[in-house]
């Protein structure tokens, strides 16, 4: 029996290659595009039932995409796919994103940022360098705080489990307004203002969509507690950049923990901000590296491959992109 062809558009590191081969063993014929001759490349493109990719436009090009005549699924290995120009992708190919693939390391990063902000670690470090020794200035007690989570998918739920372990109450929003998880409140995006007003720590794990683009603006920031902690591990564009900077300048007790930025090297070819966020004492920054822990890329590769395998078996693949996530 002829096995279905799965095309990998890039040359993965050996551990990730082994992960792919392990998932598809006996179930699919795996081809790695950079290893193919020109003739083999054409054959693989025309026969592929599914594609595994980080960036199909960059790795394949428009002409090669048009040759994916038999392809039914394009599985992106990234959790977010807002960078994809959907108008350039063939209409007959469903696109799946790798939601939750990096949930555990991202939750750890959120916890580190929340604790650093609550205990003023970065700020006191700077002040000690200047000779100040604020031994008796109280920091925030985390137990009993409320954590609002905007986006209660796999990453949001992992964040909630960690925050509950620290003694925090959980309020959250997701698409359905329902969850089987232990929460103090669950709502939809219509309830964002309520969650913002009630929360000491707000964590953004939402996908960037037409609905969530600049969801958090001046009015929403103004509805938050003056000393709230805002943590964004999703996409910079969910928060209005100008409004956030103005809010941070006007509210020095407010802290922004920025892991996701508006202009980033992977998506835009450079790192750039419209304002000097890194000069503000109430900003904690990281270079969008929350997912980069040992083994995380292997886990993500396995999850993406397992979703393709689900498709090849005739089952419905998970996390198919709908019109709401098609940003361009």
Residue 258, H or E segment: strand 255-258
Q: What is the pLDDT of residue 58?
A: 85
**Mean of pLDDT values over 56-66:** 87
68, 115: one domain: no
Looking at 157, 235, 247, 303, which residue is catalytic?
Answer: 235
Are residues 193 and 265 both part of a single domain?
yes
pLDDT score for 84: 78
Cα 63 to Cα 312: distance, rounded to the nearest angstrom? 25
In the chain, DSSP finds a helix count (H) and a strand count (E) of 12, 12
Give a yes or no: residue 326 inside a domain.
no
In this predicted structure, the answer to whether residue 327 has a pLDDT above a threshold of 60 is no
- In this structure, the answer to whether residues 163 and 87 fall within a common structural domain is no
Q: Which residues pair with 232 in a beta bridge?
A: 204, 258
Mean pLDDT calculated for residue range 48-65: 90
pLDDT in tens, 200-244: 999 999 999 889 999 999 999 999 999 999 999 999 999 999 999
Of these residues, 241, 264, 302, 306, which one is catalytic?
A: 264
Domain that includes residue 200, residue range: 103-285
Determine, yes or no, domain membership for 82. yes
Residue 138 CA, distance from chain mean position: 33
pTM above 0.75, yes or no: yes
Token pair belonging to 39: 């003739």
Query: What is the reported pLDDT for 323?
Result: 55
143 shares its domain with 171: yes
**Same domain assignment for residues 137 and 271:** yes
Confidence of residue 326 (pLDDT cuts 50, 70, 90): very low
Roughly what angle, to the nearest 10 degrees, separates helices 154-165 and 103-118?
A: 40
Residues 258 and 302 in one domain: no
Is residue 327 domain-resident? no
* Residues 151 and 272 grouped into a single domain: yes
Structure tokens at 143: 């137990």
Band (pLDDT 50/70/90 cuts) for residue 328 is very low
268 classed as catalytic = no
**Is 288 annotated as catalytic?**
yes
Mean pLDDT (whole number) for 244-270: 95
């Amino acid at each position: 029996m002829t096995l279905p062809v799965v095309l990998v558009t890039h040359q993965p590191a050996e551990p990730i290659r082994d992960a792919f081969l392990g998932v598809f063993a006996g179930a699919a014929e795996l081809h790695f595009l950079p290893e193919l001759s020109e003739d083999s490349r054409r054959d693989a493109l025309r026969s592929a039932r599914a594609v595994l990719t980080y960036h199909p436009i960059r790795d394949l090009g428009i002409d090669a995409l048009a040759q994916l005549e038999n392809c039914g699924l394009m599985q992106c290995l990234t959790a977010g796919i807002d960078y994809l120009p959907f108008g350039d992708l063939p209409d007959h190919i469903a696109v799946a994103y790798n939601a939750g693939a990096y949930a555990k390391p991202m939750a750890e990063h959120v916890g580190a940022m929340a604790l650093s902000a609550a205990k003023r670690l970065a700020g006191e470090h700077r002040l000690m360098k200047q000779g100040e020794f604020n031994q008796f200035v109280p920091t925030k007690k985390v137990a009993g705080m409320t954590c609002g989570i905007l986006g209660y998918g796999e990453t949001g739920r992992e964040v909630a489990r960690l925050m509950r372990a620290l003694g925090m109450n959980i309020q959250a929003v997701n698409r359905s307004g329902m969850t089987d998880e232990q929460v103090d409140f669950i709502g939809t995006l219509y309830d964002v203002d309520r969650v913002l007003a009630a929360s000491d720590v707000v964590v953004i794990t939402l996908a960037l969509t037409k609905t969530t683009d600049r969801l958090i603006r001046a009015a929403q920031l103004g509805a938050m507690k003056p000393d709230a902690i805002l943590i964004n591990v999703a996409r910079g564009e969910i928060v209005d950049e100008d409004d956030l900077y103005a809010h941070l300048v006007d509210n020095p007790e407010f802290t922004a923990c920025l892991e996701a930025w508006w202009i980033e090297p992977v998506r835009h070819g450079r790192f750039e901000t419209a304002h000097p966020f890194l000069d503000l004492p109430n900003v904690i920054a990281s270079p969008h590296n929350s997912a980069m822990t040992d083994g995380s890329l292997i886990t993500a590769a396995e999850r993406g491959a397992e979703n393709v395998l689900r498709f090849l078996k005739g089952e419905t693949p998970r996390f198919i992109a709908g019109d709401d996530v098609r940003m361009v």
